[in-house]
Structure 1
C-alpha cells in the first residue's frame, strides 16, 4: 500500500485519477439507468439490450478514431467536441419520447461521441511517472476505477427507484459534463502532445500483444455486461438489491486490484486472473438469491481489476508512444463490442430462459477469456523486471559531415 501512497503524492497523479474517474463515472450509471428506464417503458429486457448494444457499437466504432484524432488535432479539441455531442444525445434519450428504433439511433450517436477519456489518460500516465512506477500506476488506476462500478450502479438504482429513471440518466449526464470540464482543464492534458502516428489506422492491431489484449478485454467486458443484465432481471427494476449486488461485484475488483496489482506480470498472468472471474461467475448461477450472488460475485470481481492492469501493461510495453492512444482505443473498442454482445445475448437469454441464463452467458464469456491467453501465451510478453513504458518514437537524424 505504501507504493500506492507514494504514487498519489507524485505531482499530477492524484488529480488525473480524480478527474478521469469523475468524467467516466456515467459509465457506471448509464447502462443500468437505461436498462431500467427502457425496460420500464417497453416491458422488455431485449429492447433495453438492443438500445445498450447500439450505444456500445457507437463507442466501439469511435474508439480508435477519436483516439487517433487526438494525435492530429490535440486532446482538448477532441474531448470538448465529443463531450458536447454525447451529453446532448444522452439528455435527448432521457427526455424525448421515442420508439425503440429512435432510441437505438440516438444511443448510437451518444456512443459514437463518447469522450475518449480513457485512451487520453493512459497515454498521459507514462509522462508523469517514471518507468518503475508505471505498472503500479496501471494497477492503482484499474482499482480506483472500480469506484465507478461500486457507487455508479447503487446511485443509478437508488435515483431511478426513489426519484425517476429520467433523473438517473440526467444525473449521469451531469457527471459527464463536470468531470469532462475538470479533466480538459488539467495542465497535464495541455502539456502532453501525442505524436502523429505514421502508420495507417488499424496497423497497430497486427501486433499480437495488442490483438490478444483486445480479444481478452472483449470477453471480460461481455461477461460483466451479461452479469449486470442478469442481476437486474433477478431482482426486477423495483428493488435496490440489484445495485447493491453489482456494487459488491465491483468491491471484489477493487480488493483484487490492490491485493494483486503489484505482482509481476508473467506469461500466465492474464489467464490466471481471468480464471478467478470464471470460477466466481460459474458458481454465481447456482442459486439466485441476494447473499449467494453477492458472495460469488465478490470472488469473481477479485480477478477483474488485475486483468485490466495486465492488459494495460502489455499494451504499454509493446507499442510506440505515437500508437498508444490508438492501441488503447482498439482495446476500448473490443470491450465495447463485448458490452454490446453481452447485453444483447443476456437480454434474449433472460426473455427466453430466465435470469439465471444470463449469469451462465457471462460465465461462458469469462471461460473463453481464460482459454485464449492460456493458448496464446507465447504472444503474452513476460514483463517481470522489464520497463513497461511505451517504445520511444525515433526519427532519422541527418548528420552533416565536413
Structure 2
C-alpha cells in the first residue's frame, strides 16, 4: 500500500483518478435506469430491453470511433461534444413521452455519444508517471473502478424506486455533466495531445497483443455478466442477498487488484489470474447457499482486476502512442459484447435448467479465457522489465507545459 501512496502523491494522479471515476459513474447507472424507466412508461420489459439493446449497440459501435477521433480533433473537443449530446439524449428520454421507435432512437444516440473517458484516461496515464509506476497505476485503476459497480447500481436503484425513474435519469445527467466537466477541465487532458494515427481504423487489431486483450476482455466480462444474471436469478430482484453477494464479488476484485498490482507481468500472468477466476466460479456450481456463493465469488473476484490490469498494460506496451486510444476503444467494445453474450447465454440456461446454469456459463467463459491465455501465451508480451509505456511515434508529440 505504501507504493500506492507514493503513486497517488505524484502530481495530478489522485485528481485525474477521482475525476475519471466520477465521469464514468453513469456507466454503472444508465442501463438500470433506462430499463426501469422504459418499463414503467410502456409497461413492457420487452420494450425496455429493446431500448437498452440500442444503448448497448451504440456504445459498442462508438467505442473505437470516438476514441480515434480524439487523435483527429483533440481530447477536450471530442469529450465535450459527446458529453453534451449524451446529456441531451438522456434528458429527452426522461422528460418526453413518445412512441417506442423514438425511445429506441434516443437510446441509440445516447449509446453512440457515450464519452470515451476510459480510452482518454488510459492514454493519459503514460504521460503522467514513470515507466516503473505505470503497471501499478493500471492495477490501481482496474481496482478502483470496482467502486463504480458497487456504488452506482445501488444508488440509482434506490433513487428510481424511492423517488422515481425520471429523477434517476436526471441524476445521471447531472453526474455525467459534472463529472465530465471535472475530467475535461483537468490540466492533464489539455496537456496531452494524441498524434493523428496514419493507419486505417481497425488496423490496430492486427497487433496480436491488442487482439488477445480484446478476446480475453470479451471472455472475462462475459463471465462476470453471467454471474450477475445467476445471482439475480438465485435470490430475486428484490432480495437483499443478491446485492450483498455481488458487492462481495466486486470487493474480491478490488482486493485482488491492490494486492497483486506490484507484481511484474510475465507471459503467464494472464493465465494465472484468469485461473483464479475460473477456479472460484467452478466452485459456485456446488451450492446456491448464500454463504457458499459469497465465499466462492470472493475468491473468483480476486482474479478480475489483476486480469484487467494485464489487459491495460499489454495494450499500452504494444502500440504506438497515436494508436492507444483506438486500441482501448476496441477493447471496450469487446467487453460490451462480452457482457451481452454472457447475459444472453446465462439467461437461456436459467430458463432451461435453473440458476445453476448461469454459473456453469460463467465458468465456461472463464475457462475459455484460461485456454486462450495458455494456447497463445507467446502472443502475450513479457513485461517483467516494468516499462509498459506506448512506443513513440515517428512524428513529434507536442506537450503544452
TM-score w.r.t. the length of structure 2 is: 0.91
Q: Kindly tell me: are residues 94 and 283 of structure 1, through their superposed partners in 2, closer, same or farther at Cα, counting changes over 3 Å? A: farther
Q: Which residue of 2 aligns with 1:56?
A: 56
Q: Which residue of 2 aligns with 1:134?
A: 134
Shift in Å, 1:223: 1.8
Write the distance in 1 (CA, Å) between the matches of 2:323 and 2:169: 34
Write the distance in 1 (CA, Å) between the matches of 2:344 and 2:96: 23
SS of residue paired to 2:245: helix
Q: Kindly tell me: are residues 164 and 292 of structure 1, through their superposed partners in 2, closer, same or farther at Cα, counting changes over 3 Å? A: farther
Write the distance in 2 (CA, Å) between the matches of 1:157 and 1:300: 26
Q: Kindly tell me: are residues 77 and 390 of structure 1, through their superposed partners in 2, closer, same or farther at Cα, counting changes over 3 Å? A: same
Higher alpha-carbon deviation: 241-250 or 102-111:
102-111
Shift in Å, 1:220: 1.1
User: Is 1:50–1:344's contact at 8 Å kept on the other side of the alignment?
Assistant: no
User: Is 1:153–1:243's contact at 8 Å kept on the other side of the alignment?
Assistant: no
Write the distance in 2 (CA, Å) between the matches of 1:268 and 1:26: 34
Higher alpha-carbon deviation: 344-353 or 142-151:
344-353
Q: Kindly tell me: are residues 75 and 22 of structure 1, through their superposed partners in 2, closer, same or farther at Cα, counting changes over 3 Å? A: same
SS of residue paired to 1:25: helix
Higher alpha-carbon deviation: 187-196 or 158-167:
158-167
SS of residue paired to 2:199: coil
Q: Which residue of 1 aligns with 2:112?
A: 112
Q: Which residue of 2 aligns with 1:14?
A: 14
Write the distance in 2 (CA, Å) between the matches of 1:229 and 1:260: 28
Structure 2 counterparts to residues 70-149 of structure 1, below 5 A: 70-97=70-97, 102-149=102-149
Write the distance in 2 (CA, Å) between the matches of 1:283 and 1:166: 41
Higher alpha-carbon deviation: 92-101 or 291-300:
92-101
User: Is 2:63–2:333's contact at 8 Å kept on the other side of the alignment?
Assistant: yes
Q: Which residue of 2 aligns with 1:217?
A: 217
Q: CA RMSD in A?
A: 2.3
Shift in Å, 1:27: 1.7
Shift in Å, 1:85: 1.6
Q: Which residue of 2 aligns with 1:248?
A: 248
SS of residue paired to 2:322: helix
Q: Kindly tell me: are residues 164 and 324 of structure 1, through their superposed partners in 2, closer, same or farther at Cα, counting changes over 3 Å? A: same
Q: Which residue of 2 aligns with 1:181?
A: 181
Q: Kindly tell me: are residues 296 and 171 of structure 1, through their superposed partners in 2, closer, same or farther at Cα, counting changes over 3 Å? A: farther
Q: Does 1:319 align with 2:293?
A: no
Q: Residue by residue, what CA displacement relative to the aligned partner does 1:376-395 show, whole Å, maximum 9, x if unpaired?
A: 10100111114111101124
Shift in Å, 1:291: 2.7
Write the distance in 2 (CA, Å) between the matches of 1:46 and 1:275: 36
Structure 2: which 5+ runs fail to align?
A: 397-401
Shift in Å, 1:50: 4.8
User: Is 1:154–1:247's contact at 8 Å kept on the other side of the alignment?
Assistant: no
Shift in Å, 1:342: 2.3
Higher alpha-carbon deviation: 189-198 or 348-357:
348-357
Write the distance in 2 (CA, Å) between the matches of 1:54 and 1:348: 21
User: Is 2:264–2:386's contact at 8 Å kept on the other side of the alignment?
Assistant: no
User: Is 1:36–1:237's contact at 8 Å kept on the other side of the alignment?
Assistant: no
Q: Kindly tell me: are residues 259 and 129 of structure 1, through their superposed partners in 2, closer, same or farther at Cα, counting changes over 3 Å? A: same
Q: Residue by residue, what CA displacement relative to the aligned partner does 1:216-238 show, whole Å, maximum 9, x if unpaired?
A: 01111122222223323333333
Write the distance in 2 (CA, Å) between the matches of 1:59 and 1:12: 29
Write the distance in 2 (CA, Å) between the matches of 1:240 and 1:180: 32
Higher alpha-carbon deviation: 222-231 or 374-383:
222-231
Write the distance in 2 (CA, Å) between the matches of 1:40 and 1:294: 32
Shift in Å, 1:150: 1.7
User: Is 1:46–1:347's contact at 8 Å kept on the other side of the alignment?
Assistant: no
Structure 1: which 5+ runs fail to align?
A: 397-402
Shift in Å, 1:282: 2.6
Shift in Å, 1:265: 0.6
Write the distance in 2 (CA, Å) between the matches of 1:48 and 1:307: 33
Q: Which residue of 1 aligns with 2:399?
A: none
User: Is 1:284–1:359's contact at 8 Å kept on the other side of the alignment?
Assistant: yes
Count of equivalent residues:
396
Shift in Å, 1:152: 1.7
Q: Kindly tell me: are residues 94 and 230 of structure 1, through their superposed partners in 2, closer, same or farther at Cα, counting changes over 3 Å? A: farther
TM-score w.r.t. the length of structure 1 is: 0.91
Q: Kindly tell me: are residues 241 and 110 of structure 1, through their superposed partners in 2, closer, same or farther at Cα, counting changes over 3 Å? A: farther
User: Is 2:90–2:110's contact at 8 Å kept on the other side of the alignment?
Assistant: yes
Q: Which residue of 2 aligns with 1:400?
A: none
Structure 2 counterparts to residues 134-283 of structure 1, below 5 A: 134-283=134-283
Shift in Å, 1:301: 1.1
